[in-house]
Amino acid sequence: MRDATYRPFAVATAAAFLISCLFPVVAAFVKDTQAWPKWWGALDVGLAFILAALVLVIQALARGRINQQAKEASYRAYRILIHGIFLMLLLFFFAGDRVIWSQCLTGFAWRAWLLFYALPFWFAVLQTPAAAGKSS
């Protein structure tokens, strides 16, 4: 039986992920990194650590509970999110000279990997108890 108290972990993980994604977006346009506040990097790394820890919690909560509904939701999300690769390619071609790729590409890459890896676990935890009982 799925515990509804797990849902706040899924919501917190999604919020941490969205906030964490702001860091590489901002870093992509910072020309003078020496003038940038030192706390920005520490905040980025700290939030990345919290995000990774939350994903581990989500993975532990969902272990053995990934049902067909979570798999199908993950597949639908993959089908949409994969277009992000194409959008990044378009950004590279049309605005690549305005983006500082060396400051943001690794941030985008590991976050994308983490998102794709965690989606089935996240959907399994996010499901309501009633929905979880419908398919297994």
pTM of the model: 0.84
pLDDT at 130 over 50: no
Domain range annotation of the chain: 4-124
Mean pLDDT of 63-69: 92
pLDDT of residue 5: 81
**Beta carbons within 8 Å of 99's beta carbon, 6+ residues apart:** 28, 29, 91, 92
Residues 60 and 133: beta-carbon distance below 8 Å: no
Counting residues of the chain whose pLDDT is more than 90, the rounded percentage is 75
Rounded Cα–Cα distance for residues 47 and 44 (Å): 5
pLDDT at 38 over 70: yes
Rounded Cα–Cα distance for residues 40 and 28 (Å): 14
Mean pLDDT of 21-36: 91
